[in-house]
Structure 1
Amino acid sequence: MMTRRMFSPDVVENDSFIDMSCDAQLLYFHLSMYADNEGFVSNPKTVIRTIGADKECLNELINSNFVISFDSGIVVITHWKKNNYLDEKRMKKTTFIDEKKLLIVKNRCYFRVDHDTKLMNSKELHVTPKNSNKFHASIVENSIVENSIEKNKKTNETIPFQKIVDIYNSTCIKLPKVVRLTDNRKKAIKARYMEYEKDISIFETLFKKVNESDFLQGINGEWKANFDWLLKQQSMVKVLEDQYINKHNQKNKESELVKNAIFGQNS
């Protein structure tokens, strides 16, 4: 549904929003333009194809909590009510009733609460006789906040965020230093750390390979890599697979392999 939409500076000028990729930010604006009057978007994949964005941009918005997704493929803009002030009497209600039932609103932001969140128990629910899906929002909201904070504390204790940043700063001396460990950076570190089976040595290898690439260090041009780019899933894979290694280094490695093969066979 294309119509006039508003965007709050509290949302789009927030550090968490600015830390996202430009493509993810662009997708956020386009999804907001296609959203109905309550912030639901029925065709996010169509929007992605229309603007030529990468599918990973939607995941970035979801992981950064600017968009909430549902199993049906529908998404909702998390801060919709902060961005848009619509007259309830004249507003056309959303048709996505089932998805809306899985949400509560706190501080003019949507929060998803359903059987998969594991953030509440039966004692905290006030079930009505007519509809067991309805519950007392204020009690559940408190449960969500308290349990989310506790869960994050436990998770953050096991992930060496600062150590990985220190390895980067001390190894990649020609790249921009990391001075702030933002929430988005923590999410990226956690994602890559879990993907590589909690092996911190993979980050040491990653950053060392950066020093073997003139391209990544910006020696051959104006662009250079930075911490946020290196921690993207696709970027990290390419660096670890030596797709940015200098050509002369690649030739030296190939020569060494040939020599080892020859001498290995003669010995």
Structure 2
Amino acid sequence: MAQRRMFSNRITNSAKFLKMPLSSQALYFHLGLHADDDGVVEAFTIMRQVGAVEDDLRILAAKEFVVVLNKDLVTYITDWNENNRIRADRKVDSIYKNMLLKILPEAEVINPKPRADTGKPTGRPLDNKWTAQVRLGKDRLGKDSKTYSPAKAEPHLPYKEIIDYLNEKAETSYRATTKKTQTLIKARFKEKFSLDDFKRVIDNKVAEWKNTDMAKYLRPETLFGTKFESYLNQKASKGKQRYNHFEGENDPSVYDNLPF
């Protein structure tokens, strides 16, 4: 088990997160601290340790911060890859990996690779083992120093913010972790479209298609595909927009499909 875990402010500072009871918020942090490298944790054990109750977990599941995989409360943290970026050569597969992919085939799971420093099977180094470090002397600082510069990390894209906006406006329940959805969003950002452009496309098509036979096309593969620019530039519908913000938030029926 890793000794360090991280949490994204995009998740924990969101209104959706902060509107939950403090006990549910605290449970989310404890689950994240004890999750394995695939974001899976035995929630029942953690709840016993910290004095949480099942209602705290039910709220996390209803808000889609976690997915409960079975009646033993084995739980997957849905924004795991948003919170933690684990190197493939340090990643250890979850013992629940097969069950996770069977229940959530769209889960973004990192495949482990051989260690970069030893070439041996994947795994974290022992406490008394360290990866060799390259020291740069003054004579090496210059154009040669570029050889040792770390690769630039791929910029973070607002997958979750875009899909949350679509789900709110179109009353859908798409996941931001789906590979196809992320591929489409990434392609549009490479074409220099912005977050506001995505929201404008969603607004335009929701105003035009919602409550019509075309409502079934209010989905990522249609909205964010090759017709994205034409959807962006069409004139907005003058029809009255409907807002269902936080609709059903206090409705106990949101718990009906949970496995516990």
Q: Greater share of helix residues, 1 or 2?
A: 1
* Higher RCO (C-alpha under 8 Å, 6+ residues apart): 2
**Same fold flag (TM > 0.5):** no
Shorter-normalised TM-score: what interval?
Answer: 0.3 to 0.5
Please, what TM-score do these two structures have when normalized by structure 1?
0.43
In terms of Rg, which structure is larger? 1
